């Protein structure tokens, strides 16, 4: 949720919304939900996140608020076997950290080949491979360089987090995003460079907690 951690000019955010309406399927996150309705989970936020959510709720333009209110909770099916969610398919607030979390997520959408998820802001992949009656589960961080390519097998199922643009948390300050070619099973994750110090300054100038700016330049 970049507008809660590095507040952009209103016209910049409005331009993103206009483009998003045309071509992008969006899935709401937990901070999106709380910005619209603080009663919908703000009690589990830490104090810094509470301040950021309340600030965003106050400054968010009415047109952008209406757009955000129309963004669905996950899971959202992108193709018959590809789905996107925020936390986990069965619950948008659930983190996928451990093997048990991954297995529960796979079980929630048995028809899915690929599940794209977020919430942790850390690029990673879980692979569930079935060989006869035996199943194996593997995990890997998706880190290294400016670009990572991953080719997915049709014989496996995947949970994939491509990372975060607004607030990376894998000790790499560079925003991360992914492009997926479903026809060829090719995922490419990119890390890009921007002026994180300028974003940090905007956060401080807005009167938001310093830690929210500091973590942009640290990457966690």
| pLDDT tens sequence across 48-87 | 999 999 999 999 999 999 999 999 999 999 999 999 999 9
Query: What share of the chain has pLDDT > 90, as a percent?
Result: 85
Give 14-53 pLDDT, tens digit per residue: 555 555 555 678 999 999 999 999 999 999 999 999 999 9
pLDDT in tens, 158-178: 999 999 999 999 999 999 999
Residue range 176-189: mean pLDDT, rounded: 98
| pTM score of the predicted model | 0.90
- Give the per-residue pLDDT at 1: 39
Average pLDDT over residues 147-158: 98
Q: How confident is the model at residue 131 (pLDDT cuts 50, 70, 90)?
A: confident
pLDDT band for 133, please (50, 70, 90 cuts).
confident
Show the domains of the chain with their CATH numbers: 2-218 (3.60.21.10)
Q: How far apart are CA 14 and CA 8, in angstroms?
A: 10
Is the CB of residue 153 less than 8 Å from the CB of residue 196?
no
Q: How far is CA 10 from the centre of its chain?
A: 22
Instruction: Please enumerate, as own/partner, the contacts of 176-180 that have beta carbons within 8 Å and a separation of 24 or more.
Output: 176/123, 178/116, 178/123, 180/82, 180/114, 180/116
**What pLDDT is attached to residue 24?**
78
Distance CA 28, CA 84 (A): 10
């Amino acid at each position: 949720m970049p507008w809660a951690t590095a507040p952009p000019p209103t016209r910049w955010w409005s331009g993103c919304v206009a483009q998003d309406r045309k071509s992008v399927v969006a899935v709401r996150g937990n901070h999106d939900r709380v910005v619209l309705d603080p009663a919908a989970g703000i009690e589990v936020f830490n104090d810094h996140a509470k301040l950021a959510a309340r600030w965003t709720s106050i400054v968010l333009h009415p047109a952008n608020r209406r757009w955000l209110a129309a963004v669905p909770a996950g899971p959202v099916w992108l193709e018959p076997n590809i789905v996107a969610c925020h936390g986990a398919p069965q619950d948008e607030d659930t983190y996928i950290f451990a093997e048990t979390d991954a297995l529960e997520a796979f079980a929630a959408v048995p028809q899915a080949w690929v599940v794209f998820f977020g919430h942790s802001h850390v690029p990673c992949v879980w692979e569930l491979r079935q060989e006869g009656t035996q199943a194996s589960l593997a995990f890997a961080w998706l880190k290294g360089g400016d670009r990572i390519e991953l080719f997915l097998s049709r014989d496996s199922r995947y949970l994939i987090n491509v990372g975060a643009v607004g607030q990376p948390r894998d000790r790499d300050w560079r925003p991360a995003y992914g492009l997926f070619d479903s026809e060829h099973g090719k995922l490419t994750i990119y890390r890009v460079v921007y002026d994180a110090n300028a974003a940090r300054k905007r956060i401080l100038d807005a009167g938001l907690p310093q830690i929210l700016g500091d973590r942009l330049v640290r990457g966690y």
